[in-house]
Amino acid sequence: MLENQIYEQLSNLKSKTPLVEAITNYVTINDCANILLSIGASPAMCESADEAYDFTKLANAVYLNIGTLTKEQELAMPQAVKAADELNIPVILDPVGCAAIPRRIGFIDKLRSFGKVDIIKGNLGEIKSLAGVETKVRGVDSLDMGEDGVEVCQQLAKDWKCIVAASGKIDIITDGEITALVHNGDDMLTKVTGSGCMLGALTAGFCGANTDNLLASCIASFLSMGIAGEHAAQHNRGCYPGSFRVFLIDEIYKLTDTILRDKSKIEFV
């Protein structure tokens, strides 16, 4: 039944045009906005500490990315979490760099004191760092081979009472009880800056339109990025990073429920 619900998420998103409040990093903010538009959502990058609380109450989902954390963002993000918690708006947190910069784990703990975080979406190195498990990273990139990835994600999901989604060669998405492995994707996704951030934004878009089933929404977002990446790489010059980045946005725009169903490579464990 969950699998069928996954393939209904995209048409639901396109029919609802969810507003996503995104406080995200400056390296990829434009890419996040464009991929949200391409999938059918409405992006809003409101990061003013004076406005985040009130604006979040207008949104359908919140995406927080700490990749280039500024003082203004440090003040705005707790306000967004507080407002989202009051109105039960889903919050998707991308803990970029927390495995390399321990201070960021403390900031994440602070955010959680203001309200719930529904989905933690990161690479496996970041997820392991939050779980207190030793890992290997190079800056914001994970070098972890992922042998114990499923177990770590499941445990963190249970401990934090949220959905944990780890991107990698095989994506892991779990609520602690149900675990999906998404085998879609292409190595070219690792050759452009921001594919992980775009995935986080997509996840917020899906969750904003489908708040009654966040696990299905999260899986659908990972599936969408993986399939779009595969299709983008097949284009003439799709093997070059600059062209691939453009094709990726186009392929996200072209996705349908039927494409997701026909091209999906999902394994439940």
pLDDT tens readout for residues 216-225: 999 999 999 9
* CA 45 – CA 21 distance, rounded (Å): 6
**Which amino acid would we find at residue 116?**
K
Q: Please indicate, yes or no, whether the overall pTM of this predicted structure exceeds 0.85.
A: yes
121 is known to lie in a ligand binding site: yes
Q: What is the mean pLDDT of residues 163-185?
A: 97
The SS3 of residue 136 is: coil
Q: Is the pLDDT of residue 149 over 70?
A: yes
* Helices marked H in the chain: 2-6, 9-16, 29-39, 52-56, 71-87, 103-114, 124-131, 149-160, 195-209, 214-233, 241-254, 257-263
Q: Is the pLDDT of residue 142 over 50?
A: no
- Cα Rg of the chain, angstroms: 17
15 is known to lie in a ligand binding site: no
CB-based contact 111:81 (threshold 8 Å): yes
What percentage of the chain reaches a pLDDT higher than 70?
95
**For residue 135, what pLDDT band results from cuts at 50, 70 and 90?**
low
149 is known to lie in a ligand binding site: no
Domain 2-268 belongs in CATH node 3.40.1190.20: yes
Res 1: pLDDT: 76
Q: Is the pLDDT of residue 145 over 80?
A: no
Sequence spans of domains, the chain? 2-268
45 is known to lie in a ligand binding site: yes
For residue 44, the tally of other CB atoms under 10 A from its CB is 17
**For residue 148, what pLDDT band results from cuts at 50, 70 and 90?**
confident
